[in-house]
Amino acid sequence: MPRLRIDQIEIEIERGATVLDAAAKAGADIPTLCHTRQTGGHASCMMCVVKDAASGRMLPACSAKADDGMEIDTRGDEVTSLRRETLQMLLSEHVGDCEAPCTRICPASLDIPRMMRRMAGGDMTAAARVAKRALVFPATLGRICAAPCEKGCRRAQFDVAVGIRSCHAALGDEMPERAEPSGKTVAVIGAGLAGMSAAFVSVLRGHACRVYDERRVACSGLRDRYAQQLPAEVLEAEIASIRGLGAELMLGSAVDMAAVLSTSDAVIVACDADVRVAPNVFRAAEHAMPVRSVANGKAGARAADAFVRGVEQGQPNRRYNSAIGKLRPDEIEAYGVLRLIDNPVGEAGRCLGCDCRKRVSCKLRQYADQYGIRGAVKRHMARPSVAPIQVFGPVLFEPGKCIKCGICVTLCRQSGEDGVTFGGRGLDSRVELPPGGSIGDDLAVRCAQACPTGAMAVSACEETL
């Protein structure tokens, strides 16, 4: 049995095993894109590159055989640098959006395509939950928001932008499920949109929450500013829903800051009050743009929640995002295939669904985050053109997201059935059905489940952050 070292850990491994097998035995985690247990390694993506210090060679761990005397480095600077270069190359050829342009623009991160799909499918309750969790005041914002999301709607390149604001304005006030009580108390100073949004998130996460304001009604500034656009009963209903969830409003009297600070595990300041700086004090500023006030309130509540739980606050909004950008004139027709509906079901049916169905499990995105790739990747050649979505039974195939790993092609060959294969050569190589070919539903689903990116996805499945 070959004896080798993986990151200074000496192991023995069966002859014929790969360096990837040896690394797994040593507890080393090596990234892979073109390898599965069933298909083996194709050495096509080169994400699994490692260095054999004994020979000085860089090796693809998925196909290189483990041998006596190897000194494998799986995480050194040289290895990490090569993996980053590989990722940048793959991403420079990637033609697809992780998050839809409208969602990226929305300050409150409303998952707009998901909401629209629920509405178009007739599930208004599910759509309302999506809107409520993100916007907190979906009906209110549906009447007063400046709708920056609509300015980024790709549908406008075909005709006019989807009326996103009017869609969430029409939804009911469906409350998300509240977490188990945490035993922690969060105080919010200021009952504007930011403060009430902070209270909403705090209560959802299981904390007891009190909102303090010297004014006698919540969101008094909003009422004055939008008296003509915003019916009082719409705002009152959404405030009442937050109170019904468990937030306690202490309105109409001076705030005893010393008492609040001494009796609360965390304090969120959502007004201009002069509050001393302390580890348990957080800010959630009101903003001239109402939806930004909501976003600020949610951010303040997340920070307070992380503090009272004693955990490091994550940064969910800073994930890597691939973006197609504006479609070129010659791409508009191709992009519209399977996206444009001749007889849409209301306004929601006009949504093009520009997001990715595998935005969580896509390994290309995961590794971009892991290796610190941020922003747009510099392209050394023109961006490949958008290609039409294809349908393989229950599976959607987006060629622009395909990294040509070969996993689906191998699965089809192993099955003995018809299926996808490689076509073209060089830069023009692609995964496709051969002329007159077909792929069975079960095999298509297996390919989609094994696909490391969002190129193949089961159309009925949908991942959410």
Interior angle at CA 39, CA 34 and CA 43, nearest 5: 35
Residue 388's pLDDT is what? 94
CATH of 101-173+324-350, one of 1.10.1060.10, 3.40.50.300, 3.40.50.2300, 3.30.365.10: 1.10.1060.10
pTM for this predicted structure: 0.89
Question: What's the residue count for the chain?
Answer: 465
Token code pair at residue 238:
């959404």
For domain 379-458, give its CATH number from 3.10.590.10, 3.30.1360.200, 3.30.70.20, 2.60.120.10. Answer: 3.30.70.20
Domain ranges across the chain: 3-75, 101-173+324-350, 185-310, 379-458
* First-to-last C-alpha distance (Å) of the chain: 45
Residues of the chain falling short of pLDDT 50: none
Distance separating alpha carbons of residues 34 and 45, to the nearest angstrom: 6
Domain 3-75: CATH class, spelled out: alpha beta
How many Å apart are CA 172 and CA 82, to the nearest integer? 51
Which of 3.30.110.30, 3.20.20.140, 3.50.50.60, 3.30.930.10 is the CATH number of 185-310? 3.50.50.60
Measure the CA–CA gap between 364 and 376, rounded to whole angstroms.
14
pLDDT at 105: 95
Q: What one-character-per-residue DSSP string does 60-126 give?
A: ETTTSBP-TT-EEESSSHHHHHHHHHHHHHHHHT----SS-HHHHH-TT---HHHHHHHHHTT-HHH
Q: What are the pLDDT digits (tens) for 339-380? A: 887 655 689 999 999 999 999 999 999 999 999 998 778 777
∠ CA 457-463-465 to the nearest 5 degrees? 145
pLDDT reported for residue 345 = 66
What's residue 316's pLDDT?
A: 53
